[in-house]
């Protein structure tokens, strides 16, 4: 059984959004509901890698788009 949401058959989780705040922190929304608020980049990395399974190059790609546009939606 997978320990990440990315690899599991988790009904109801269709996407998550990461939004960069003006203060440099991040908010994470799951299916439009606030999941985590005002988290640091290190905590974001921990959440996306450990909880969701987006590590390494996948995480870098997500963070790159967030830096460019201020947000990223990831379909699960």
Domains of the chain, residue spans: 15-75
Output b/e per residue, 3-18; b: 16+ Cβ within 10 A.
ebbbeeeeeeeeebbb
In degrees and rounded to multiples of 5, residue 60 shows phi and psi of -60, -40
Predicted model pTM: 0.81
pLDDT of 75: 93
Q: How far apart are CA 68 and CA 12, in angstroms?
A: 29
pLDDT digits (tens, 9 = 90+) for 30-70: 999 999 999 999 999 999 999 899 999 999 999 999 999 99
């Amino acid at each position: 059984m997978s320990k990440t949401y990315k690899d599991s058959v988790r009904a109801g989780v269709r996407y998550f959004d990461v939004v960069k705040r003006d203060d440099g922190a991040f908010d994470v929304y799951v299916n439009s509901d606030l999941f985590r608020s005002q988290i640091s980049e290190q905590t974001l990395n921990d959440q996306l890698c450990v909880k969701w399974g987006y590590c390494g190059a996948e995480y870098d790609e997500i963070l790159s788009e967030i830096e460019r546009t201020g947000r990223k939606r990831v379909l699960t």
